[in-house]
Chain A
Amino acid sequence: MKSIHDINEKIREGNVSVITADEMKDIVEELGPEKAAKEVDVVTTGTFGAMCSSGVFLNFGHSDPQIKMEKVWLNDVEAYTGIAAVDAYIGVTQLSDTRGMEYGGAHVIEDLVRGREVTLKSTAYGTDCYPRTEIVTEISLEDLNQAVMLNPRNAYQRYNAATNSSEQTLKTYMGTLLPEFGNITFAGTGEISPLNNDPEFRTIGIGTRILLCGATGYVIGEGTQHSPPYGTLMVKGNLKEMNPEFMRAAVMPGYGVTLFVGIGIPIPILDDKMAKFAAVRDEEIETKIIDFGVPRRDKPVVKKVTYAELRSGKVEINGDEVRVSPLSSYYVSGKIAAELRDRILNESFFLTLPVERIPAKETFKPMKQTTIRVVKNVMSPAIPITPDTDVDEASRLIIKKGVNHLPVIDEEKVLIGIVTSWDIAKAVATGKIGKVKDIMTRKVITVLSDDPVVVAARKMEKYDISALPVTDTKKHLIGLITTEDLSKLLSGG
């Protein structure tokens, strides 16, 4: 049994034994945990992935005359300033007011770290003590009094992997998901990731010194949504000491801006138990692949897998081999673990004893919501027709019933197409007055009767259509939901 103090003594004496997490696996396998614990003092871990729950506290200093900032923007990205006069917090996912999804808080932070100037703009209501009502100026990192990165939720221990059963490509925070189980994406770095090497939070706790984007940082508590084995950390570090090599602004296409955050955490091998923990292999780290094709909070689990299976690059779903993308960079994570090892060896990084433990058990509650409206409660009855209906007959139905959409079903009531008043007008205009099956749209965008109403609204907006046939999971037609049904809902009807 060693203490943190013993290890720091060894660092000072220059005879500490430090290795990276990937090297530790084989050593423990070869020597066994007891011997490995004697040989190895510290194992360095690393992770580098998109961590949306991140941002930076900034203090701008006072202008002359002074301003109590009410609103503040950096390169047109708004920061939160509901704190003291010249303090603000810029979150990485905040989008630019002028450039939308291509530039956001993460880019401002990266620009600052790269030594670039950013435009600070602020407005205020003016008070006796802070008379100024607006300011525009250029600032760089060195002009700021403090720039402290403080990330509420980082370093996820493991994360659900994602796939997509639906017929559309989905652009998500888990990257681009191809239709019909076209690919799988996963995040986290498994066996070399910090929290998997200390799953009981024996050494990682409040006050643990870490490497955050290349700077010395600290764990300041459990992260939000901390729920081991899906544990998370809240961390802080000085932006002024950060290295752009270990952080990167990113755009998840169609989803938004985020920041690749690099975190390295030393695991002191205090005893054989810690050696055993640090020997964890991807084969032992389980997660679930969930289906983003179902737009609900509780998404169905497609399959349980280990990180080893995910990293193999192919996972089988329904008999097909599906290709897998990691979203965290194993390459940069490895560099972070190596950087941390070198700093310890150079006596420029010492270990700390946590001042308080982080709970190793906790559950993450969903949001308390009043009832969720689902499609079946607001839809209208559909007026179905068969593919052999005459176009003539269909046009009469449209006029008689005052509708714009006629879903087309087969004998089993399965939806096979749709005709709109527009299709019929076009058919009539071009003299194509045959059967409905010749003019109907066969690729129909639909919604399930149990889907929340917002899902229907999102689909109508995305595909620019005014109605969706409602079906059950077997594609049987149940009804029709229109923009009118939605607006009735909004007006409280």
Chain B
Amino acid sequence: MMLELKFDSRIVKEPIISKATLEANTLINIMRANVGARHGEMVIEVEKSRVDTVIEVFQSYGVEVSKFDRKIIKSDECVHCGACVSICPVEVFSIGKEEKVEADSIKCIHCGVCVNVCPVQALTLP
């Protein structure tokens, strides 16, 4: 499951991911990170069974945690050309039944790359 973390300048300096890994005793996969001088944002992936513990640990360090469920939406405008298939870093798109392009949106990390690649503007990020 994916979580979105938001933190401020105080925590930017702390090795919070390592701390959370140790304290929650689970692996954390960083999917997207945008850490600046004043605040940071991160999308991480953790095992479903450990989610609650991980959230608790982060919150104890003052990190704002939310479940990350803003996923790519593919509309009926899609002509199944496949241009997006090789672009998405986490392989959300694949060619499936009847040669249709399918989106496994669950995996989406909200990077936005595919949105500007689709020739018929069938992809949007909420």
Contact = CB atoms under 8 A, between A and B. Distances in A.
Interface of A is mostly: strand
A329 B82 contact: yes
Most central of B98, B99, B117 by chain A CB within 10 Å: B99
Nearest to B99: A330
Given A251-B119, A330-B95, A334-B99, A323 B83 contact: no
B85 A323 contact: yes
A332 to B, nearest CB: 6
B89 to A, nearest CB: 9
- Report the interface size class on chain B: 20 to 34
Interface string A262-299: 00000000000000000000000000000000000000
Contact of A252 (B80, B85, B119, B121): B119
B79 A332 contact: yes
Given A260-B81, A326-B82, A329-B82, A250 B87 contact: no
Contact of B119 (A50, A322, A324): A50
A49 B83 CA distance: 11
Contacts of A249: 120
Interface stretch (A13-21, A125-133, A175-183, A480-488): A175-183
Contacts of B32: none
A439 B121 CA distance: 42
B79 A260 contact: yes
Contacts of B117: 175-176, 253
A248 interface: yes
B120 A248 contact: yes
Contacts of B120: 248-251, 260
Interface string A458-471: 00000000000000
Nearest to A175: B83
A329 B83 CA distance: 9
Given A250-B79, A322-B86, A329-B82, 12 more contacts: A176-B87, A178-B87, A185-B83, A249-B120, A253-B117, A258-B119, A260-B81, A326-B82, A329-B79, A329-B80, A330-B99, A331-B80
Interface of B: 79-87, 91, 94-95, 98-101, 116-117, 119-121
Interface of A: 48-50, 175-176, 178, 183-185, 248-253, 258, 260, 313, 322-332, 334
The 8 closest A-B pairs by CB, nearest first: A183-B86, A250-B119, A330-B99, A325-B86, A331-B80, A323-B86, A326-B82, A331-B99
